[in-house]
Chains A and B, each alone.
Chain A
Amino acid sequence: MSDAPVSINPDLCRGCKKCVSACPFGVLYMDGKLVMLKADECRGCLACIQSCPFQAITAVSSDEIDHERLREFSGVWVFAEQQRGKVREVAYELLATGRRLADERGCELAAVVLGHEIGHTAAHLIAAGADKVILADDPKLAEYEANVYTDALHQLIAGHKPEVVLAGATAIGRAFFAKVAVRCYAGLTADCTALSIDSETTLLHQTRPAFGGNIMATIMTPNHRPQMATVRPHVFKMNPPDPGRVGETLLEALDLAPAVTRITRTIPSASSINIAEAEIVVAGGRGLKKAENLECLRRLADRLGGVVGVSRACVDAGWISAAHQVGQTGKTVSPKVYLAFGISGAIQHLEGMRGAETIIAVNNDPTAPIFDVADLGIVGDLMDILPALADAVDARARN
């Protein structure tokens, strides 16, 4: 940063350290009896000015300079989350959206990869729409660790000053992005379902649900940069890859502190998966008629990599544990796909699953309320459909 937003007058400073403790970013430090500023890291919050009893600190920035500073930020970034060298799908989805935003702003679209031995990802990311891929390749980034990831992304942002930074709202993206946003004094909006550039202000319009999806809100970050947002997987569509695209790859060497937490063991999903977090829920209700038919449901769930959910009737009948119950008195789920077999859809059940992205319902009663919320509703005997469906999915998997 060329100009620090504040200046310290050494003649007035008495070394009282009030400003040092007031600074939320820890960029003021004592050099002997005088206060010094790490100018590059100052976010211009001006907290120190108010804390100084001797008026030794003054603001350099005027509104003019503020705008100047905002304008220094340019480019749209997508954080391309990878694990064991494989970039997650959501990154490609974000690149498609990022492409649109970058074109509207007339700027560059960059993908940022943190990890170790990740060079091979660049080609895929460029094919998916990135103009540039920034690779931070470091053994310390081999495994996700929130604190190291935060250091890394923060250093990259400080160095390149992107205007917009996007990430998937995954367990990883949601956690360390919030730290990065605080460190940058940036605005962050989680779980966006729509992103667009406001034609008048050129700001990023971020739309997200709140209050359990009962309300939508549109959010902007007018005076802070970058504008950061996370987006849940499968909200946006990815573009087909274009292998002919060319782009630049930038290797960044970072100065990182070692990790403070350590993974000692990993337990793969399946057994531990929790219905509230599941991507695919295969659910059954009273229409299953008997406990044995739950087996069919399980078989389909296994093949789809999903979990079994049930309406209250099945739990009441003692067929399955309450941990699988979806609804008002059970769990609230919001999977990518919810398949409902023999569930009529009383409001008590709907309340627990209406957040699902896609709902497929099979029921023999054409007036069942579940059909009102279903994207695909099939009137029919579930025992005609369920086994055949499991076989069909199986056949697809083998091909």
Chain B
Amino acid sequence: MHIAVCVKQVPDTANVRIDPETNTLMREGVESIINPYDEYALEQALRLRDSCGARVTALTMGPPQAAVILREAMARGADGAVLLSDRAFAGADTWATSYVIAQAIKKLKPKVDLVLFGKQAIDGDTAQVGPGVSEFLKYPLLTYARDLQVAADGRYTAETLMDDGVEVIEGELPAVITVVKESAAPRFAPLAGWMATRGGEIPSWGVKQLKAVPDLCGLQGSPTRVVKIFAPPVKSGGTRMDGRVQPAAAVEAIVTLLSRKGVVS
């Protein structure tokens, strides 16, 4: 079995702010991290590898410095990694990103049986690239999965977290599966792993290596355009009540608000 895990380098969003005057991103002091959801996808892949044997390849699309998260994936135990990097990929929305990643997965040898993604990336929060790749690959899609098990015949089971409960799903590889955080905690990369990944080259594929169509990559290939970014509106002041004198009135106010929000009838 060959498992491809797609990971993304993202800014630590807790620190990303927008300058309210110029409406530009303030990147000062913002660090890049591996998308937290992707760590769970990688863990699922490594667990499958540990339990039933597989080759795990980590993939990312990004600038050359994004290779650092691939090294981290290899330090944790991935067998190989590929960086998808090309100026032509810049400005890609989820459509064009899905296209490039799918092209890369098609190119991997041996043929990829299972593609894992984190549920979503914390910078864009779209959760669209996993499904998009499944479409380009024509692999069936399963989203919000945890506890993935694969049998020798290529049948798999997983639990998916839906809006009103958990569903136990059965399917057959190949598949594209997105993984939630409510699954096995990601392992730490051991020092031995880091020291072993050193020196090894990580291949970098661009438009040419992928035989991708430049018009479908990057901004050029993206149907959507960001036309404006701005700071979120500041929440206006709420209502204050003194519940020390008349607790009953306070309770009534809460119930009224809850019912307005449709929480109580």
Residues on A lying within 8 angstroms of B by beta carbon are: 21-22, 24, 26, 45-47, 50-51, 83, 89, 146-147, 150, 170-172, 174-179, 181-183, 185-191, 205, 209-224, 234, 260-269, 272, 274, 276-277, 280, 304-305, 328, 336-337, 339, 351, 357-360, 362, 364, 371, 373-381, 384-385, 388-389, 392-393, 396-397, 399
Residues in chain B near residue A266, CB distance under 8 A:
165-168
Q: A146-B142, A267-B167 are in contact. List 9 more A-B contacts (CB 8 A).
A: A146-B131, A150-B141, A187-B95, A210-B125, A211-B16, A272-B166, A336-B262, A379-B241, A380-B244
The CA-CA distance from A160 to B129 in the complex, in Å, is: 26
Asked whether A179 lies within 8 Å of B224 as measured between CB atoms, the reply is no
Contact of A182 with B211 at beta-carbon distance under 8 Å, contacts A24-B99, A378-B250 already known: no
Asked whether B123 lies within 8 Å of A211 as measured between CB atoms, the reply is yes
Asked whether B161 lies within 8 Å of A274 as measured between CB atoms, the reply is yes
The CA-CA distance from A212 to B11 in the complex, in Å, is: 11
Asked whether B224 lies within 8 Å of A189 as measured between CB atoms, the reply is yes
Interface size on B, residues (CB 8 A): 93
B126 interface residue per 8 A CB criterion: yes
The CA-CA distance from A165 to B143 in the complex, in Å, is: 21
Asked whether A47 lies within 8 Å of B213 as measured between CB atoms, the reply is yes
Residues in chain B near residue A371, CB distance under 8 A:
238, 240
The CA-CA distance from A22 to B214 in the complex, in Å, is: 11
Residues in chain B near residue A280, CB distance under 8 A:
263
The CA-CA distance from A200 to B165 in the complex, in Å, is: 44
Residues in chain B near residue A328, CB distance under 8 A:
14
The CA-CA distance from A265 to B127 in the complex, in Å, is: 25
Number of interchain pairs (Cβ within 8 Å): 291
Within the complex, the shortest CB–CB distance from A75 to chain B, in Å, comes to 19
Asked whether B226 lies within 8 Å of A219 as measured between CB atoms, the reply is yes
Asked whether A304 lies within 8 Å of B232 as measured between CB atoms, the reply is no
Asked whether A215 lies within 8 Å of B94 as measured between CB atoms, the reply is no
Report which of A171, A176, A178, A263 forms a contact with B163, defined as CB distance below 8 A.
Answer: A171
Asked whether B244 lies within 8 Å of A264 as measured between CB atoms, the reply is no
Within the complex, the shortest CB–CB distance from A62 to chain B, in Å, comes to 16
Asked whether A397 lies within 8 Å of B131 as measured between CB atoms, the reply is no
The CA-CA distance from A266 to B162 in the complex, in Å, is: 10
Within the complex, the shortest CB–CB distance from A100 to chain B, in Å, comes to 20
Asked whether B165 lies within 8 Å of A190 as measured between CB atoms, the reply is no
Residues in chain B near residue A182, CB distance under 8 A:
95, 98, 131-132, 135-136
Asked whether B143 lies within 8 Å of A380 as measured between CB atoms, the reply is no
What are 8 of the A-B contact pairs (CB < 8 Å)?
A: A26-B138, A182-B135, A187-B93, A218-B229, A234-B261, A339-B254, A374-B238, A396-B259
Asked whether A211 lies within 8 Å of B140 as measured between CB atoms, the reply is no
Residues in chain B near residue A268, CB distance under 8 A:
164-165
Report which of B98, B163, B170 forms a contact with A262, defined as CB distance below 8 A.
Answer: B170
Within the complex, the shortest CB–CB distance from A313 to chain B, in Å, comes to 21
- The 10 A-B residue pairs whose C-beta atoms are closest, nearest first, are A380-B243, A187-B223, A178-B131, A261-B171, A224-B223, A47-B213, A178-B128, A212-B13, A187-B224, A182-B135
Q: A261 — nearest CB in chain B belongs to which residue?
A: B171
Q: A305 — nearest CB in chain B belongs to which residue?
A: B263
Residues on B lying within 8 angstroms of A by beta carbon are: 11, 13-14, 16-18, 25, 93-95, 98-99, 102, 122-132, 134-136, 138, 140-144, 157, 159-172, 175, 178, 181-182, 211, 213-216, 221-232, 235, 238-244, 247-248, 250-255, 257-259, 261-265
**Residue with the greatest number of chain B CB neighbours at <10 A, chosen from A146, A182, A187, A189:** A182
Q: A89 — nearest CB in chain B belongs to which residue?
A: B262
Asked whether A214 lies within 8 Å of B13 as measured between CB atoms, the reply is yes
Asked whether A384 lies within 8 Å of B243 as measured between CB atoms, the reply is yes
Report which of A150, A264, A269, A388 forms a contact with B135, defined as CB distance below 8 A.
Answer: A150
Asked whether A265 lies within 8 Å of B168 as measured between CB atoms, the reply is yes
The CA-CA distance from A238 to B225 in the complex, in Å, is: 29
Residues in chain B near residue A217, CB distance under 8 A:
226, 228-230
Contact of A385 with B215 at beta-carbon distance under 8 Å, contacts A146-B141, A214-B13, A393-B264 already known: no
Report which of B222, B226, B231, B235 forms a contact with A373, defined as CB distance below 8 A.
Answer: B235
Q: B15 — nearest CB in chain A belongs to which residue?
A: A214
The CA-CA distance from A381 to B247 in the complex, in Å, is: 9
Contact of A381 with B244 at beta-carbon distance under 8 Å, contacts A219-B225, A274-B161, A396-B259 already known: yes
